[in-house]
Amino acid sequence: MSKRPSRSTSPRSSSGRSGRSAEGRAAANGYWMYGLHAVEAALRNSDRHLHELLVTSEGLSALESKQAPIRISPNLVERQRLDLLCERDAVHQASACA
């Protein structure tokens, strides 16, 4: 969750996080969480309102193997899409949610 300068060729904001969905829309709550542990915790927290869940097929399998409650319909994406969404050098582990 560090703040790093973004690469000029990516759609990220200057804060290092894009705050945008896979289609370029701003995330409804202003930020994305990524990584299996963070996404799993968000899915398990019934008080957290989730707007969007982006996962690769491997990420979805990992969440399902952890028996994480998939409370919203996941959007299956390619790993490159998550690479663009997350900050530079982020370890998204094939999952992100907003």
Amino acid at 4: R
Q: Give me the chain's average pLDDT, please.
A: 75
| Contact in structure between 72 and 52 (CB atoms under 8 Å) | yes
Query: For 24-65, how does the pLDDT look when each residue is reduced to its tens digit (9 = 90+)?
Result: 445 555 688 889 999 999 999 999 999 999 999 999 999 999
Residue 68 reports pLDDT greater than 90: yes
pLDDT tier at 2 (50, 70, 90 boundaries)? Answer: very low
| Spatial separation of the C-alpha atoms in residues 43 and 41, rounded to whole Å | 5
Phi, psi of 54 (to 5 degrees): -110, 125
